[in-house]
Structure 1
Amino acid sequence: MAEQLYEARRTGVPVQPFTDADPTLGADEGYLIQQELVRLLLADGDRIVGHKVGLTSRPMQRMLGVDSPDFAPVLESTVYSDGAEVSAGAFIQPKIEAEIVFVLGSRLQGPGVTVSDARAAVAGVGASVEIVDSRVVDWRIRLADTIADLASSGAVARSSRLAPLSDVDTRLVGMVMSRDGELVDTGAGAAALGDPVGVVAWLANTLGARGVALEEGHLIMTGALHAAVPMSAGETYLAEFDRLGSITVRVVD
């Protein structure tokens, strides 16, 4: 299954949902597939530079029938800077969503990580967008499918500007997303599990149970603040965050 997803990323041809063939597949199996897919991608020379957390909003959890988030590593090859041009052809069925991103200033490993511990480990907080993509036909995903597919990650664009966490209550950060100058959605930090800093603590504890730590300098993407927006070539997206600044992505052919 990991090899099928690896080929789908290479060729742009999506696979059928694994859970259609085997409805018994769950989160544990999804993470086993994800682990093997990551091994294949790292063997190509990629590098893990952080993690993303998905399904942090209650509506998304209800849609997939779960009560907790999922996660996947962020790969160096998928990270872009503010103002980047991103090729639509690099994805199969991409959507874009605005997120709050943290950069860690120190190593963090669970179990037992509290929100205060997570706050102390953060070097700064910034504006970002994630391009989510599915290597599964028509986004017909259940939980095991999206987990296996690197939590449906496609790419990340982040601002180089970081604000000290002591200056920001990330629960209250408002966000406005526009496409070609037209408003498409709004959101607030509390959409991410009630508190984006709590997302970092959740991730540290969840990975800690697997013997994995969050490393100094790593990015932590904390989940969408609004419904994902389908994106196409020729469009420009601007996400503006209160106190954090903005991030722009241009989608090209």
Structure 2
Amino acid sequence: MNVEDVAAQLLGAYETGKPIAPIVEDHPEATVTDAYRIQQEQVRTWTTAGEVVKGHKVGLSSAAMQEQMGVDQPDYGHLLSGMFHLEQQPIPAGRFLQPRIEPEIAFVLGRPLAGPGVTAADAARAVEFVLPALEIVDSRIRDWKISIVDTIADNASSGGVVLGSRPTPLSAVDLRLVGCTLHLGGTLAATGAGGAVLGSPLNALVWLANTVGPLGVTLEPGHVVLPGSMTRAFPVTAGDTVQATMGELGSVTAVFT
């Protein structure tokens, strides 16, 4: 398998707006390692063009999302500067191919975090504050027919991020017990809790640091880390308004036009 060729196919899907066939159909021999190499090739293309890595996302970290996507392990992707959108401000739905939305508790780091060997205590010390967030997941793979290789190669199905504007210190909240209600157009679509994310969202941050650390990646101060969704993902389209309310963390709203 030629990593550069597959990366070019995925980059082409961004430009044409047309998803590609699952990678594993043409490359059944592809491994998770191959998939991360494809992801890194795209990140190099984006940063060369002027984008800046602003953080990472952990995907497929809840039982609900693993069941929905048919996979059995988490993955990670990169958050680039162009992926961030302001809450309550119009987000053009047409910039995405097959968007879905997920409620998450976003970590904002105040200290560097580098694995291996990161513990929950290390991770907690590195977090400056948390924010309510909505992640827009998207797939450049046709009909979301993804294996773990497909989603990793596709930058963990990243699309966009909407952060709330009320920072909360980690010491002021028990992440496991934070409840979430997700409303689409004023209708309750789902409920969830922080404990759905690997037992605690903090565990996802530990997993990420220890997974990327051996690759020479340090999670930097100011970076945003999305630990995973508290509910299943829901399709969104132009005209939709989505609000996630997370108890003492407050709420965050995304508006699609």
TM-score, normalization by structure 2: 0.95
Alignment of 1:6 onto 2:11: yes
Q: Is the 8 A contact 2:132 2:164 kept in 1?
A: yes
- Give the alignment partner of residue 187 of structure 2, picking from 172, 182, 189: 182
Q: Is the 8 A contact 1:192 1:225 kept in 2?
A: yes
Report SS of the residue matched to 1:118.
helix
- Give the alignment partner of residue 99 of structure 1, picking from 104, 111, 118: 104
- Cα distance in 2 for partners of 1:67, 1:104 equals 28
What is the CA distance between 1:4 and its match in structure 2? 0.7
Alignment of 1:153 onto 2:158: yes
Alignment of 1:133 onto 2:126: no
Report SS of the residue matched to 2:208.
helix
Aligned residue type for 1:41: W
- Cα distance in 1 for partners of 2:236, 2:185 equals 11
Q: Is the 8 A contact 1:26 1:143 kept in 2?
A: no
- The residue number in structure 1 matching 2:249 is 244
Alignment of 1:81 onto 2:86: yes
- Give the alignment partner of residue 120 of structure 1, picking from 122, 125, 136: 125
Gaps of 5+ in 1: none
- Give the alignment partner of residue 19 of structure 1, picking from 17, 24, 30: 24
Q: Is the 8 A contact 2:68 2:232 kept in 1?
A: no
Evaluate the alpha carbon distance shift between residue 67 and residue 180 of structure 1 in structure 2; reply closer, same or farther with a 3 A threshold.
Answer: closer
- Cα distance in 2 for partners of 1:213, 1:174 equals 30
Percent identity over the alignment is 47
What is the CA distance between 1:58 and its match in structure 2? 2.0
- Cα distance in 2 for partners of 1:35, 1:100 equals 25
**Residue correspondences, number:** 252
What is the CA distance between 1:66 and its match in structure 2? 4.5
- The residue number in structure 2 matching 1:201 is 206
What is the CA distance between 1:64 and its match in structure 2? 5.3
Q: Is the 8 A contact 2:242 2:253 kept in 1?
A: yes
What is the CA distance between 1:43 and its match in structure 2? 1.4
Report SS of the residue matched to 1:68.
coil
79-88 or 234-243: bigger deviation: 79-88
Report SS of the residue matched to 1:5.
helix
- The residue number in structure 2 matching 1:48 is 53
Q: What do you get for the CA RMSD once the two structures are aligned?
A: 1.1
TM-score, normalization by structure 1: 0.97
- Cα distance in 2 for partners of 1:136, 1:177 equals 26
- Cα distance in 1 for partners of 2:28, 2:66 equals 18
194-203 or 54-63: bigger deviation: 54-63
- Give the alignment partner of residue 95 of structure 2, picking from 82, 90, 97: 90
Alignment of 1:32 onto 2:25: no
Per-residue CA deviations over 1:109-158 (Å, capped at 9, x if unaligned) read 01110001100100001100001000011111111110010000000000
Report SS of the residue matched to 1:178.
strand
Alignment of 1:162 onto 2:139: no
- The residue number in structure 2 matching 1:224 is 229
Gaps of 5+ in 2: 1-5
Q: Is the 8 A contact 1:157 1:249 kept in 2?
A: yes
